[in-house]
Amino acid sequence: MKGIIAISLKRLVKKEYGLEKWYDILERSGFSKYELIKASDDLDDAKFLNIIASTCAVLDITLEQAADAFGDYWVNEYAPEVYSVYYKNAKTAKELILNMNNVHKKVVLDLENARPPTFEFEWKNDNTLLINYKSDRNLAILMIGLLKGVSKYYNEDLKIRLISDNTAEVVFN
């Protein structure tokens, strides 16, 4: 996983809980507390999963709470600052979500070796979208947190839930 994801998590933890907690998380995950992660770093996926598990342990939150907090922070604070260009052309949550494969493809151009997930979209009916998540990292729970973040960003009350291991259901209004 690219370092930029861990950097964003660090900022969130620092803001909400203080830097000491981030140091605890790093040390529990097999890093030195002084480890300076760069956006372009390639973090071993197992080590990144350790960071997620340590975040839950140190902050005493569930994986779902961590995914929701990260998704909210990434979509509403971090990405609008670092990747504002991707928001400019999307006027609704639906437009941003349906463009996610393109966004991730473009991200790869700036971040060598990035391996973002891909999504298959299927309309169940006029306002219900099924999103099939494809990534060997098995972080569909993170997809749910990020989709909730998109719902908040556009101030739209989407109904979002995981209906199978890799499929999200999104009901638009």
Q: Which residues bind ligand HEM (CB under 6 A)?
A: 1-2, 4-5, 75, 79, 83, 86, 100, 103-104, 107, 111, 114-117, 135, 137, 139, 142-143, 146-147, 150
> Which C-beta is closer to ligand HEM: that of 60 or that of 165?
165
CB of 109 to ligand HEM, least distance (A): 11
Residue 53: closest CA among 63, 43, 45, 44: 63
Cβ proximity to ligand HEM: between 9 and 100 the closer is 100
**Min separation Cβ 131 and ligand HEM, Å:** 7
Token reading at 114 = 């990035």
Closest CA to 31 of 4, 54, 2, 15: 54
DSSP-based three-state secondary structure for 161: strand
In the complex, the smallest distance separating the C-beta of residue 127 from ligand HEM, rounded to whole angstroms, is 18
**Beta carbons within 8 Å of 110's beta carbon, 6+ residues apart:** none
CA atoms within 13 A on the CB side of 115: 13
| Rounded distance between C-alpha atoms, residue 66 and residue 55, angstroms | 8
Which residue, 111 or 162, is less far from ligand HEM as judged by CB?
111
Rg over CA atoms, the chain: 16
Taking the least distance from each CB to ligand HEM, the nearer of 113 and 125 is: 113
Which residue's CB is nearer to ligand HEM, number 28 or number 137?
Answer: 137
Q: Least CB distance from residue 98 to ligand HEM, whole Å?
A: 10
Going through 46-106 in order, the beta strands assigned E by DSSP cover none
Smallest separation (angstroms) from ligand HEM to the CB of 31: 17
